[in-house]
Amino acid sequence: MNYKSKAKELVSQMTLEEKASLCSGKDFWNLKGIERLGLKPVMVTDGPHGLRKQAASSDHLGLNDSVPATCFPAASATACSFDRDLLKEMGKAMGEECIAEEVATILGPGANIKRSPLCGRNFEYFSEDPYLTGEMAAALIEGIQSKNVGTSLKHFAVNNQEASRMTVDSVVDERAFREIYLTGFEIAVKKAKPWTVMCSYNKINGTYASDNSYLLTDILRKEWGFDGLVVSDWGAVNDRVEGVKAGMDLEMPATGTDNDEAVVAAVKNGLLKEELLDQNAIRVTELILRTQDNKPVPYRPEDHDELARKVAENSAVLLKNENDILPLTKKQKIAVIGTMAKDPRYQGSGSSKIHPTSLDNAFEALKAAGADIQYAPGYPSDSRQVDQGLIDEACRLAASSDVAVIFSGLPDEYESEGFDRTSLDIPDSHNQLIHAVVKANKNTIVVLQCGSPINMPWKDEVKGILLMYLAGQAGGRATANLLLGEVNPSGKLPESYPYTLEDNPSAMYFPGNPKSVQYRESIFVGYRYYDTAKKEVVYPFGYGLSYTTFEYSNMKLEELGPMSWKVSIDVKNTGSMAGAEIVQLYIHCKKSAILRAEKELKGFQKLFLEPGEQKTAEFILEHRSFAYYNPKASDWCVEGGKYEIMAAASSADIRLSQELMIEGDGKEQLLVEDYKELPQYRTLSKPFRVDTSQFEKLLGHNIPTYPNGRPYTASSPMEDIKDTFIGKIMVKQLQKGMQDLAGQDGFDPSMLRMMQAMLMEAPIRSLKMFSQGAFNNNKVEGVVAMANRKFFKGIRYMLKK
């Protein structure tokens, strides 16, 4: 069936009111249908590393328990695999589970850049690098959509923090916007064609993403050729009529009928062209038609559990292996220490939290594998407080063992959707345990379970570090297999690990203030900053060890045509164990007249090799591989000159390189004079800071100012009005509603802190979403008027229907 043609035919038969009705959801998870035209409601629901479909006890905020589904490793882990085929395989399994549960579209993957290691939702995102982000996202999308299930690429765009995420203005220059924060989305859209894209909550340079025609129409549709549906993040709609004009097709979740009525009125009053509404309705109708006749097909949970194990094994990163302490043998007496060995941290908190079909742990997996193990908890599972008795017990066990394996990391309450971390530290109870156990047994290994970089004050003391990130429901078996050498670690870091938080280039500007966050570091994100500024890191981007060794040789460059080259590198396994090497390809402009990073990732390939086996990694470099975004030309341009093409084992471990002369377009000259006035961007201070005048020069305009206090608007956060008369009433009611929800059967207590953070940062207009239909636009305007001390006007709004 030609779904678009059928959708156009059906929309031509709809009334104005029916077309407008399709522009918002039926409830929290379902789209509306139109029965007389044979359009059925279809369901969308959370991802992105597994299916989170609410059970029958669904609540109006989508926070109650969900049906069992395979919890695959989170994106922070799967990105370490650098394995497109593996992500496609995982995506196919997720698609099968969606079909079984009659879900039309899963909300993911997340393609936001890891600007700061503190972002509370980094575990849901792939990388600090846009190329890796785009390739991993595209692979997952291709796998899911191969099963005739839609995806929703999110959160579009420049949404890199949880603090004030629903109202904050992301102030970013055009080059960083294009090169860093949009490129991952662009790759995924062009390569995998997601059925939907989810716009983010935040403003971008002053305009909410849901109202942003430059983002949603000019870039996404006209430049990239996206022909799918744009859906709002849940509660992200600012002005529904402006959203329709901008190309924001579907408001989620349902918030009553008044936004639909506002769209109808705007068309009748000539404020909105009906053709724009028709386009929205066609896109929603097409999405419904694609999946409404899918038939549920059961899947084998045990097969998907095995796949989850395979993904976790291929995503683990061996950070340290002094004196080849790993792999362990079953003959060794092993002390397993830390409650995370039995009660793992295997996923993040928030809307991505999955009810797993099964859950293993490393202790039981090691035991089942025949390892000689004994256990000590080491630290309390529900407290950050140091328990000296538990530490002493762990030290006695370690002293009587051949080797100690400590399971450590970040507990649930440290990172989640809804709030950001405040430091890179893990609990002191973990750090003190590790320091003490190393003194009792020098053969100590640490296994880390966390969603983002951490400080490791004991790094130089322990002999081995195995990073599992958040490894999903089968991470326990994966960990056991890796520790015992049944599987060779092959993951590499998709983000840099700085020595201190202050070393990160965004440190002085993250998370900004409740009104705005300034992206003053521009294009110098992650390794682009560290390598250019010659700033040492603990572990560089792309780093990861193996139980075997690899040799690179015979690098060749072959010109295929204008601005097209094939690069090939031979890689040989020179060790005694089968393993995989991730070959990374970087480019370096040797003498640039403009601001450029020292190097940029432009290709990667994972090669699986038996001992002594050799294979060839091949890459294609084209125009975009060498291009930068030129805001003066409004285009991707290429600077002429010598480029170094580098084959590497990490961003800091260049194995082979060759030079290539590129003929450019000369348009860098449009920027040269401006860039002469940006000395701080050329010197890249350590720690990084940029004066306001230079950031404004880069922006091309002054940094916006934001009034404090009155007048409040519907987009003002609840925090702003909490001390007003009406604000106190509203906050009290919301807190009571939150307490009632938390007391319901099936409520996940780990969601409570996220809800508390959401409550005060949510804009006043979110009252419609929180109130189960009790609030409409008039009542929201009434609250705004009373907060602005216009009590009689507020009462009149409140009394309107």
Taking each helix axis from N to C end, the angle separating 777-787 and 258-268, rounded to the nearest 10 degrees, works out to 100
Contact 162, 757 (CB under 8 A): yes
| Of the candidates 253, 274, 228, the residue with the CA atom closest to the CA atom of residue 16 | 274
* Helix ranges (DSSP H) in 104-150: 130-145
Question: Whose structure tokens read 């959370």?
Answer: 46
Phi and psi (nearest 5°) for 716?
Answer: -70, 135
Between the CA atoms of 321, 324, 328 and 331, what dihedral angle is there, to the nearest 10 degrees?
-150
DSSP secondary structure string, 200-215?
A: -SSEETTEEGGG-HII
Question: Whose structure tokens read 């084209």?
Answer: 622
- What are residue 605's DSSP bridge partners? 583
User: How far is the C-alpha of 272 from the C-alpha of 265, rounded, in Å?
Assistant: 9
The full 3-state SS of 22-72, as one line of letters, equals CCEECCCCEECCEHHHCECCCEEEECCCCCECECCCCCCCCCECECEECCC
User: How far is the C-alpha of 216 from the C-alpha of 310, rounded, in Å?
Assistant: 37
DSSP state of 269: T
User: How far is the C-alpha of 648 from the C-alpha of 16, rounded, in Å?
Assistant: 58
From edge to edge, which strands make up the β-sheet containing 44-46?
A: 44-46, 105-107, 150-156, 196-199, 229-232
Contact 586, 602 (CB under 8 A): yes
Question: Hey, which bits of 159-283 come out as E strands?
Answer: 169-171, 196-199, 203-204, 207-208, 229-232
Taking each helix axis from N to C end, the angle separating 3-11 and 274-291, rounded to the nearest 10 degrees, works out to 130
| Of the candidates 391, 397, 365, the residue with the CA atom closest to the CA atom of residue 486 | 365
Is the bond preceding 356 in cis, omega lying within 30 degrees of 0? Answer: no
Rounded (to 5) percent helix, strand, coil in the chain: 35, 20, 40
With 0-12 CB in 10 A as exposed, 13-18 as middle and 19+ as buried, what is 705? exposed
Return the SS3 of 403: strand
DSSP state of 534: T
Phi and psi (nearest 5°) for 291?
Answer: -125, -5
DSSP secondary structure string, 597-637?
A: -S-EEEEEEEEEE-TT-EEEEEEEEEHHHHEEEETTTTEEE
Contact 230, 765 (CB under 8 A): no
Output Rg (C-alpha) for the chain, integer angstroms.
Answer: 27
| Of the candidates 417, 494, 472, the residue with the CA atom closest to the CA atom of residue 51 | 472
Here the tokens at position 271 are 């404020």
Here the tokens at position 623 are 């125009």
Residues across the chain: 801
Beta strands 68-69 and 355-356 are parallel
User: How far is the C-alpha of 479 from the C-alpha of 317, rounded, in Å?
Assistant: 11
Q: Annotated catalytic sites, by residue?
A: 233
Contact 250, 240 (CB under 8 A): no
